[in-house]
Amino acid sequence: MLKPSTSVTTRLETVYQFCMTNLKPVLMEYWPEFVNKYPELDMQQWAIREYAKQMVDEGISNSKQIQSGITKACKEKFRPRPTEFAKLCKPTAEELGLPSLREAMDEVIARKGKYKNQEFTFSHRIVELICERIGYRVYRMRDYEFAELFKGEYDYWISRYMSGDLPAAHKALEYTPPTKAKIDSYVANHGLPMLGNDTLSQKIRELGIAVKHKRQEYISTPEQKAV
């Protein structure tokens, strides 16, 4: 098990030593061209250091990740180059329990099509983020253009997820009942305004009486009009 370290130089040396012990024998056994290209020990050491550098650059310093990369590499027909091997060391979306690229894209398309303007629960926050950013483009782009754009977004958010840097979901707004529902609730609890004994009805009655008195001050009786 590789011990975590803060120094890049130390991490590089640790990964290098691990790869010399675990990766180099596999490269020599599975791909003879590695030995043909690097016949001397010092040349092999240089090549393995290149693998180690690439892994450290990609944030890979865990022995479990490297062993996973070695297992995947053994299934490849050609020897993976340092950049390719570093990618093999990274867990796939499926290994992380995340929806695959195809599953995520189908989900966004369904959200913007079949389930448009309906309540919808995303399978993962990553899919929700992608939908928020580019979902509206589903029907504004050609299929292959959207697929290419989607892959870039998918890879970006997978990377953010692996680094523990996903933004939190938006907090739902507090539900506010429609005005009619408020009126119906009021009538059910207090009766029609002015007829109940609640504070609102009392104030309405008081206001009505005041308005009535005010109007009477300006309304002349027939006798007053004749004067």
Domain boundary among 67, 89, 111: 89
Geometric angle at alpha carbon 75, from 74 and 80, rounded to 5°: 65
Q: State the burial class of residue 23 (Cβ atoms within 10 Å of its Cβ: 0-12, 13-18, 19+).
A: buried
Q: What is the pLDDT of residues 166-201, one digit of tens each?
A: 888 776 555 565 666 666 676 667 666 556 667 766
Same domain, yes or no: 27 and 77: yes
Q: Is the pTM of this model over 0.85?
A: no
221 or 199: which leads in pLDDT: 199
> What is the average per-residue pLDDT within 5-30?
90
> What is the average per-residue pLDDT within 15-37?
95
Same domain, yes or no: 27 and 70: yes
Same domain, yes or no: 61 and 84: yes
d(CA 161, CA 129): 11
- The segment with the largest mean pLDDT, out of 8-12, 30-34, 170-174, 186-190, is 30-34
Using an 8 Å Cβ cutoff, are 15 and 55 in contact?
Answer: yes
5 or 122: which leads in pLDDT: 122
Helix (H/G/I), strand (E/B), else coil: 137: helix
180 or 28: which leads in pLDDT: 28
Is a pLDDT exceeding 80 seen at residue 20?
Answer: yes
Same domain, yes or no: 26 and 73: yes
Helix residue ranges, H only, the chain: 8-30, 32-37, 41-57, 63-73, 82-89, 101-112, 125-134, 143-162, 179-190, 199-218, 222-226
Q: What is the pLDDT of residues 42-93, one digit of tens each?
A: 999 999 999 999 999 988 878 888 999 999 999 999 999 999 999 999 888 8
Same domain, yes or no: 155 and 202: no
Q: State the amino acid at position 119 in one-letter form.
A: E
Classify residue 118 by its DSSP letter. Answer: S
Question: By C-alpha distance, which of 130, 90, 92, 94 is closest to 110?
Answer: 130
Domain that residue 222 falls in: 179-226
The pLDDT of residue 9 is 87
The pLDDT of residue 202 is 72
The pLDDT of residue 227 is 47
* Within-domain flag for 174: no
* Within-domain flag for 81: yes
Same domain, yes or no: 189 and 132: no
Q: What is the pLDDT of residues 84-143, one digit of tens each?
A: 999 999 888 888 889 999 999 999 999 999 888 888 899 999 999 999 999 999 989 999
Same domain, yes or no: 152 and 129: yes
Q: State the amino acid at position 9 in one-letter form.
A: T
Which H/E stretch holds residue 123?
none
Q: What is the largest CA-CA distance in the chain?
A: 129
Same domain, yes or no: 15 and 83: yes
